[in-house]
Structure 1
Amino acid sequence: MITVGVEEEYLLVDPATGLPAPLVEEVRRTAGLGPLTEDDEVQHELLQAQIEVATPVCATLDEVGGHLLRLRHAVASAAEANGCRIAATGAAPLRGPVPVPVTPTQRYLKMEGEARQLVDEQLICGMHVHVAIPDPGMGVAVINRIRGWLPTLLAMSANSPLWDGRDTGFASWRTIIFGRWPVTGPPPFFDGFDEYERRLESLVASGVMPDRGQVYWQARLSERYPTIEVRCLDVQLRPDEAVMFAGLVRALVATTITEEKAGTPPDVSRPELLQAGTWYAARHGLNSTLVDPRGHPHSSGDVLGSLLHHITPALEDAGDLREVSALVHRLLQEGTPADRQRRALTEGGLPGLIRLITETTTSD
């Protein structure tokens, strides 16, 4: 069984105003005192109103779901004990008049010095899925084969429509905010692992970025673990939606490994179409057409159906087909989390929105 792990980022917000609350050290300290978390499972992020959790390595989706619920409950309880709440939203719906302080590590302070406005506006939260790979060469082959599906995954995950109290018109404003760093978006096609390494080394050697960690491709080899890391997703409102993406990404990786071993030629998405499809997915979510891996526009439902058909054997092998399929169909019926944020704001105003993004974080 291919193992998987999930990282999630949350905002810390004032429960009354919805404004970011720079209390990460207090929340981490409180969460770390209890028996529910290990030291490395709750981490700080770039800004002091963000917090990250990371599951252990998991063999099943039940394990992923159990750990996410455990970690969300632990961090939510710690936040409440310190007068704030965790919000599972891809972008802060509101910002205060003063920027949130940077977490005072050498790396983050250097980033602030080099790109102050970008850092000030990094009140965004993503979800990263790590899937084990047998070796780096196969990992690069997997990246080559899944890159055409990244816009579809992004559209499904969209959960950041609001910014500065207004509807941005985008389903994933997080994608637009994050896309302003030097190296972001869909990865290029690589002619093997050696070329992957040469490209990363040349980027660092250029002096544009201090290290390989700031190569923010939406799919990349992890620098810390023997995994491929898929990073195109907004953080999800509900933990079972995060579980769905863990199942989808693992099945995509398993499918591409099978294809690579069989010598099946990959679909090579043209970079301009992949970039345009990413922007379009961030703009519309599932409320329009999607660009499929071959660069053709189809209805969102048809593209999601194609994705499920493509990975069905892998889902069956993992015992995940029924669960993941049911969650994908629910997503098509209910809309993306971005759609639900907009409905909550329309029906309940700001209090209704705050309830949605803070109270659904620990419930399926």
Structure 2
Amino acid sequence: MLTLGVEEEYLLLDPATGTPVARAAQVRRAADLQPALADGEVQRELLQAQLEIATPVCHAPEEIGGHLRRMRHALGRAAAQDGCVLAACASAPFTDRLPVPVTDTVRYRSMHGDAPRLTDEQLICGMHVHLGIPDRSTGVTLLNALRPWLPLLVALAANSPLSQGADTGFASWRTVVFGRWAVSGMPPSFEDATDYDRRTRSLVENRLIPDTGQIYWHIRLSERYPTVEIRAMDVQLRADEAVLLAATVRALAARLLTPAAAGPSTAAIPPETLDAALWHSARHGCAAEVFDPLQGGLRPVRDAFATLVDFTAAAGEDGVQIGSGLERILREGNGAARQLGELRRGGREGLTGMIVDQTVAGGDRPR
């Protein structure tokens, strides 16, 4: 079975206003004193109101869940000690007039110099799933095979409906914002690992991007680890939702790497169809029809989820977990739906409280 690792990005918010606060360095120092956090598990991000965590290599989704709950709870305590709160929302729902400063590194200063407005608007947070692979050839096989499933993953994971105090009209505004970078969005298909390496190196050699770290496709081969990295999903409000997504990605990958994957072909889906399906998922999330890669068109959300459950059923326990998790999403809504619902009910204060409660150990907010 493929190994798993998850990275999550978080925002630091003012508990009274819900706006981002530039306290990442201070919270990292406080996190260093948390015995539940190991060295290197909390990392800086592009803006000073963001932090990232990375789990160890895991062999089961339950391991991912244990690490995420541990790290969210401990990092939430560190944030509280510094007078702010940890928020697993994929876009900042409220902002001040002034932009959050960029983190003071050579790389991040260079990115801001190249694209200042775009960098200032990167108050967005994602969830990245790393799947261990035996070689880069297998990674490219997975990249190609997972592409048609990305719209469904984006719809399921949508958790960024708000920006600058307003409803954006998109369930995943993060997908739209992040798609403005030069090499981003739906990846192309590749013939093999040699083709992948040649084409990605060409982008750097032609000075179109400074390095391969700025390849922001929704799936890419990791340059640091023997993994394929799936980056399409918004960070999730609850840790159990992150576990569901990790299990879903691994179950899809396991099925796609077996002869049992034979059936309706997704290889012939035109790239423009996948691009449009991805935009549709970012726009509507789970509130409308969703692109079904096996049927090749839009279908009711429940039907598309049934396709996903059936396709991953051979993945054993992961498949069982996916079915129960999707039923909960259908009952309660994904993060985008719950954010909008809470904003209508409880206003700004209620929404900020809900985000923080659901971020830290499923509602156990540190005090």
TM range (shorter): over 0.9
Task: Report the counterpart of residue 113 of structure 1 in structure 2.
Answer: 113
Retained in 2: the 8 A contact 1:189–1:268?
A: no
- Separation in 2 of the partners of 1:357 and 1:268? 40
TM-aligned CA deviation for residue 49 of structure 1:
0.0
Query: Equivalences for 1:173-184 in 2 at 5 Å?
Result: 173-184=173-184
1:301 aligns with 2:339: no
- Separation in 2 of the partners of 1:127 and 1:34? 23
1:85 aligns with 2:85: yes
Task: Report the counterpart of residue 320 of structure 1 in structure 2.
Answer: 318
- Separation in 1 of the partners of 2:318 and 2:34? 32
Q: Deviations for 1:230-250, whole angstroms, at most 9, x for unmatched residues?
A: 000000000000000110001
TM-aligned CA deviation for residue 34 of structure 1:
2.2
Query: Equivalences for 1:36-185 in 2 at 5 Å?
Result: 36-185=36-185
Quick one: which amino acid aligns to residue 24 of structure 2? V
**SS of alignment partner, residue 320 of structure 1:** helix
**SS of alignment partner, residue 40 of structure 1:** coil
Structure 1, unpaired ranges of 5+: none
Within the candidate set 343, 353, 357, 1:355 is matched to 353
TM-aligned CA deviation for residue 279 of structure 1:
0.5
Task: Report the counterpart of residue 255 of structure 2 in structure 1.
Answer: 255
Retained in 2: the 8 A contact 1:47–1:100?
A: yes
TM-aligned CA deviation for residue 265 of structure 1:
6.2
Task: Report the counterpart of residue 275 of structure 2 in structure 1.
Answer: 275
Retained in 2: the 8 A contact 1:170–1:284?
A: yes
Retained in 2: the 8 A contact 1:155–1:285?
A: yes
- Separation in 2 of the partners of 1:263 and 1:269? 14
- Separation in 1 of the partners of 2:272 and 2:180? 17
Retained in 2: the 8 A contact 1:237–1:361?
A: yes
- Separation in 2 of the partners of 1:102 and 1:72? 23
TM-aligned CA deviation for residue 266 of structure 1:
5.4
Retained in 1: the 8 A contact 2:154–2:278?
A: yes
**SS of alignment partner, residue 39 of structure 1:** coil
- Separation in 2 of the partners of 1:32 and 1:279? 40
**Could you tell which deviates more after superposition, 299-308 or 241-250?**
299-308
Alignment CA distance shift 1:144-1:116 (3 Å): same
Alignment CA distance shift 1:69-1:233 (3 Å): same
1:338 aligns with 2:336: yes
Retained in 1: the 8 A contact 2:72–2:361?
A: no
TM-aligned CA deviation for residue 321 of structure 1:
3.0
**SS of alignment partner, residue 86 of structure 2:** strand
Retained in 1: the 8 A contact 2:89–2:160?
A: yes
**Could you tell which deviates more after superposition, 189-198 or 320-329?**
320-329
Q: In percent, how many aligned pairs have the same letter?
A: 51
**Could you tell which deviates more after superposition, 197-206 or 139-148?**
197-206
**SS of alignment partner, residue 360 of structure 1:** helix
**Could you tell which deviates more after superposition, 259-268 or 118-127?**
259-268
Quick one: which amino acid aligns to residue 344 of structure 2? T
Alignment CA distance shift 1:225-1:310 (3 Å): same
- Separation in 2 of the partners of 1:94 and 1:208? 33
Alignment CA distance shift 1:158-1:263 (3 Å): closer
Quick one: which amino acid aligns to residue 341 of structure 2? R
* TM-score normalised over the length of structure 1: 0.96
Retained in 2: the 8 A contact 1:144–1:266?
A: no
Retained in 1: the 8 A contact 2:86–2:360?
A: no
Quick one: which amino acid aligns to residue 311 of structure 1? T
TM-aligned CA deviation for residue 268 of structure 1:
3.5
| Matched residue count | 361
Task: Report the counterpart of residue 25 of structure 2 in structure 1.
Answer: 25
TM-aligned CA deviation for residue 264 of structure 1:
9.7
**SS of alignment partner, residue 102 of structure 1:** coil
Retained in 1: the 8 A contact 2:22–2:100?
A: yes
* TM-score normalised over the length of structure 2: 0.95
- Separation in 1 of the partners of 2:351 and 2:5? 29
- Separation in 1 of the partners of 2:91 and 2:42? 20
Quick one: which amino acid aligns to residue 328 of structure 1? L
Retained in 1: the 8 A contact 2:313–2:320?
A: no
Retained in 2: the 8 A contact 1:289–1:299?
A: yes
Retained in 2: the 8 A contact 1:144–1:268?
A: no
TM-aligned CA deviation for residue 199 of structure 1:
1.1
Task: Report the counterpart of residue 189 of structure 1 in structure 2.
Answer: 189
Task: Report the counterpart of residue 245 of structure 2 in structure 1.
Answer: 245
- Separation in 1 of the partners of 2:148 and 2:261? 19
Retained in 1: the 8 A contact 2:12–2:20?
A: yes
- Separation in 2 of the partners of 1:342 and 1:265? 37
- Separation in 1 of the partners of 2:291 and 2:320? 26
Task: Report the counterpart of residue 365 of structure 2 in structure 1.
Answer: none
